[in-house]
Amino acid sequence: MPLPVAHALIGASAVVLSRRRFSLKRDWGMMVFGAALGILPDFDIFFSWVLGFGIKWHGSFTHSIAFAATAGCVSAALRREGEMRDIPVYALATLSHGLLDVITKKEFGGAQLFWPFSQRTYRLKLFDYFEWYPNPFTDPLREIFERAFQISCYEALIFAPMLAALLAARLWLNRRRERQAAMKEGQTGKETDEHYSERI
Ligand SMILES: [Zn+2]
């Protein structure tokens, strides 16, 4: 199952991908927030492990489109510079969690994407990504931490380059757009100068 490192990197990537006119200097805080939103749905483990509601609660309502939309609205309202147009960006960062769970689960788990309209847990059943379902009540904690650390390292190796590639692509697009705008401005200026000299 994907661990917080994968979800955080995908959440940040969702911000880079969906933010209109992304700027690293201006939007790095939004990226960090997106990373946190990417992890947020797995806090439903509280219902399973702490309140003892059973493992079925994991992957439930916090992994749904409805929850992602709500988290998007609340996040945009909470962020100081939050604006309405940021709602889809935050919602997508939150939903990226459920989608990654759906893609990477085979035998167990998944996401109740359409809660509250359907209780069905969706998973693509294509491959099992780091097949590991720890039980903190029966498994030795040392083993759990060691395996979690190992998987987190693999996740950083897989998803950090993806985020870096997305960032590089967005920054390249920004630079190209700026160059085009500057060229257009230069052309307009030249045309105005030519027009002015013609009139003289
Ligand atoms: Zn999850």
Q: Which domain holds residue 30?
A: 4-199
Nearest to 3 by CA among 80, 86, 100, 90: 100
Q: What is the pLDDT along the chain (200 residues), one digit of tens a residue?
A: 899 999 999 999 999 999 888 888 889 999 999 999 999 999 998 888 788 787 788 889 999 999 999 999 999 998 866 688 899 999 999 999 999 999 998 888 889 999 999 999 999 988 878 878 888 788 898 999 999 999 999 999 999 999 999 999 999 998 998 899 898 888 776 666 666 565 54
d(CA 121, CA 117): 12
Q: How many domains does the chain have?
A: 1
Torsion sign across C-alpha atoms 170, 12, 101, 139: positive
Give the distance (Å) from ligand 1 centre to CA of residue 41: 6
Residue 122 main-chain phi, psi, to 5 deg: -95, 140
Cα(182) to centroid(ligand 1), Å: 45
For residue 76, report the distance from its CA to the centre of ligand 1, in Å.
Answer: 22
98 C-alpha vs ligand 1 centroid, how far in Å?
A: 6
CB within 8 A of 174, min separation 6: which ones? 21, 22, 23
Distance CA 130, CA 8 (A): 17
Contacts of 124 (CB under 8 A, 6+ apart): 102, 103, 105, 106
Q: Ligand 1 centroid to 66 CA: how many Å?
A: 15
Strand partners, 111: 122
How far is residue 62's CA from residue 94's CA, in Å, rounded to a whole number?
9
Amino acid at 40: L
In whole angstroms, what is the distance from residue 96 CA to residue 9 CA?
Answer: 10
CB 38 within 8 A of CB 10: yes
Helix, coil or strand: residue 122: strand
Ligand 1 centroid distance, CA of 185 (Å): 49
Geometric angle at alpha carbon 101, from 98 and 106, rounded to 5°: 145
Give 84 Cα–ligand 1 centroid separation in angstroms.
Answer: 27
The pLDDT of residue 82: 61
pLDDT of residue 117: 96
CB 110 within 8 A of CB 122: yes
* Rounded distance between C-alpha atoms, residue 27 and residue 147, angstroms: 33
